[in-house]
Every structure is written in C-alpha cells, then in structure tokens.
Amino acid sequence: MKRFCTAFLVGFIICSAPPAPVWAAGGATSGNNELMQRAEQLLSKYKDSEALLLFEQVISQTPDNLQALCKASVLHSRIGDRYADETRKLEHFSKAKEYAMRAYELNPGDAESNYAMAMALAMKAMMAGPRERLEGINQVKSFADAALVSNGEHAGAWHVLGRWYFKMANLNFAEKAASKVFFGGVCGEASNEKAAEAIAKAVAYAPNNIRYYYDLACVYKEMKNAAACISTLQRALTLTLETNEELELSRRCSIMLQEQQRM
C-alpha cells in the first residue's frame, strides 16, 4: 500500500467549425469570450475533454490568451494522468508542458502560469528516466513557490508543493544516488511533515476536492499518524461526489480507513 500511495501522490467533441475571429482592442474577440464562457461551464460540469477542445480553439485564434493556455495545460496534465497507455500519457503531458511554457513566457509572475508549469513538469517527469525525472522534480518546487508568492491561497499549488515534499522525502536508493551525483544531494528541507502541512493547506482552500484528502491521508499513513489519517479519511467520505474518478478515490479512502481502524 505504501508503494501505491507514493505512486499515486507523484500520480467531446465540438463538431461545428470555429467561428472566424473578430479582433477587438487588446487582442480579445467577442467570439473567444463566448468560447471561454462555454468552456468554463463545461469544466463546472466535469466535462474536461469538451472544455479542453474549446480552450484550444481559443488558443488557435488568440495564441497569447493567458487564461486559455493555463487552462489547457492543466487539463492536459489531468486528462493524461488518467490514461494507462504511456503513449497517450506522454502526448497529453507534452502538450501540457508546451502550453504551460507559452503561458509562463507571457507572464512569469502569474500564479496560474507557474502552477501550470509545476504541474506539467511533475507529470512529465514521471515518464522520464531517473536523471530526467529527478531534474523535472527538482524544477517543480520553484514554480510552485512562485505560484504561491502570487496567490498564497492557490490550492493546486499547495497540493503540488506537498507532493514535491513527499517525493523528495521518500526517494528510493537509486534516486538518492542519482540526486547526489547530478544535483548535489536530496533537498534538505523536504520532509513528510512539510508535505502534510502543504497538502493540509490545499484541503483548507479547496475543501471539496477528495484527491487532496486522499493524498493527505497517504502522507499521514507514511508518518504513522493513525489519528490524523483516520480523521482525514472520515472527512473525505462526507463529500458529495460527481465523477467516476472521485468515486474511485472515495472507495480507496474507505479501504484505507478500514485498514487504519483495524490497527
């Protein structure tokens, strides 16, 4: 189960043709505004793939649309993480990084562009070899930190930072050796305690996200803090769920809770 939790932490088609852009002051278009509104509505209904297509349609018409680039990047990271097939994963993660880099170049101080970079790097690192994986993971923290400087209540950035702390605090022997050779050693500030603190803040700022509760419970389990683990899982199981992914996380929370209560 420890290996599973660690891996977990580290882990619609619009048929009409796009409308012709009508350029307005500042590079925005009324058509793109409508597309953005429709995309946000789809996101609120958990229709990630349909929303992604609309955000990418906006990008095709206005390549410097920061919001669309950030949203598309995060969605590619999220959708890619659901695939078991590595080819499909890599396709989405590569696109996530491309959009994140474009957004970051537009505004390197923006919370969302830094969050998109942190998430894209973390996801793509999991598909790389030991050196490339560690290199990607090492880069994650600077972007997560920058996102939180811009917006200290960014739940997603706190979650990514917490996963970074957890991963760096629990490197396996080969990863520790590679980190020492290529990067001068493991980051001394990484610990399970800091991972728990960061993910707990993600929970505080987004109290309806069951993934944050599950990841926090995994950290508490690694810390052998049964009381905190049980409390976190019990809170997770009170949430109203909408998607199959959330239901699966709820099932895993229930299993972990039973295990913790038997100890």
Residue 100 covered by a domain: yes
Q: State if pTM tops 0.75.
A: yes
Residue 145 and residue 224 in one domain = no
Q: Which residues of the chain have pLDDT under 70?
A: 1-30, 130, 178-188
- Check residue 2 and give its pLDDT: 46
Residue 133 and residue 69 in one domain = yes
- Check residue 146 and give its pLDDT: 98
Total domain count for the chain? 2
- Check residue 136 and give its pLDDT: 80
- Check residue 31 and give its pLDDT: 75
Residue-range definition of the domain harbouring residue 102: 2-10+32-156
Residue 124 and residue 6 in one domain = yes
Residue 218 and residue 128 in one domain = no
Residue 47 covered by a domain: yes
- Check residue 168 and give its pLDDT: 87
Residue 118 covered by a domain: yes
- Last residue in a domain, options 124, 156, 188: 156
Residue 129 and residue 222 in one domain = no
Measured in whole angstroms, the distance separating CA 127 from the mean position of its chain's CA atoms is: 15
Residue 174 covered by a domain: no
Residue carrying the six token digits 């882990």: 11
Residue 127 and residue 252 in one domain = no
Spatial contact of 35 and 57, defined as CB atoms under 8 Å apart: yes
The letter for the amino acid at 201 is K
DSSP one-letter code for 189: T
Which candidate, 168, 1, 6, 11, places its Cα nearest to that of 89? Answer: 11
- Check residue 21 and give its pLDDT: 35
Spatial contact of 210 and 246, defined as CB atoms under 8 Å apart: yes
- Check residue 13 and give its pLDDT: 24
Give the integer Cα–Cα distance in Å for 247 and 202. Answer: 20
Residue 98 covered by a domain: yes
- Check residue 23 and give its pLDDT: 32
CATH number at residue 124: 1.25.40.10
Residue 15 covered by a domain: no
Residue 122 and residue 223 in one domain = no
The continuous run of DSSP H or E covering 90 comes out as helix 86-106
Residue 140 covered by a domain: yes
